[in-house]
Structure 1
Amino acid sequence: MSVLLGVAMLLTVGITAVIWAYAMTATSGIGAAVSLAAINSFGALGAFAGPFASGAVEQATGSAPNGLTATVLPLVPLLRTRRRTAPTAQPVTVRPSLTGPAETVE
C-alpha cells in the first residue's frame, strides 16, 4: 500500500511542473492570470474534497482502503482520455529565384 502511495506522490509532484509550464506558455497577458487562478482554484478544491470524501467513505465502511479507493476511482476515466492533436502540415518546397519572388513547388 505504501508503494502505491509513493508512486502516486511521485506522479503528482512530477506532473505539477508540466501543468504550470503548459498553462504559462499556452496563454499570455490576462489569459495567463486566469489560467493560473483556475489551476490554483481546482487545486484548493481538490485539497479539500479529496480528504473529505476519503474520510467520509472510511467512516461509513470502517475500512481505510475503501476510503482511498473511493478517492482514486473517479479519476480512472481520465486514464482513458485521448490527447487531441492538431493536423500536421505537409512540407512545402520553396525554390529560390534570383530574378523575382521565390516559387512554391507542391
Structure 2
Amino acid sequence: MSAQVSATELHTLSSKAIAAKEAAHCPYSKFRVGACLLTNEGQFIVGANVENVSYPVGVCAERCALATAVVAGHKNFKAIAVATDIIPGASPCGMCRQLYV
C-alpha cells in the first residue's frame, strides 16, 4: 500500500469505513469497527467486525474487508481506513497488524 491517495479518495475511504460500522455484529463487546479498502483499480471494499461468543473465532473488520476483496479478485491495495466509536481511535489488533505486512 504505497500509492498516493487523493483527498477525494481519502474522504470516500473514511466515510465508507464509518458507515461500515453499522453492519458490525458485536453483541458481546459492543465495540463496532468498520473498515474500507481502496484497491489499486479504484474500488472501495468494506468490512465490519463479526463477533462470536468465543472471542478468537470472531472476524475483525479489516480481515473481513480483505477477504471480501480477495474473493472478488483484488490483490493490490492503495489504502485502508478503519473506524471505531471511540476517540481517539483504536490500534489494530496483532492479527490485523500482521495482515498489513
Question: Is the TM value for this pair above 0.5?
Answer: no
Q: Which has the higher contact order (CA 8 A, sep 6+)?
A: 2
Between Structure 1 and Structure 2, the one with more helix by share is 1
Between Structure 1 and Structure 2, the one with more strand by share is 2
Larger radius of gyration: 1
Using structure 1 for the length normalisation, give the TM-score: 0.28
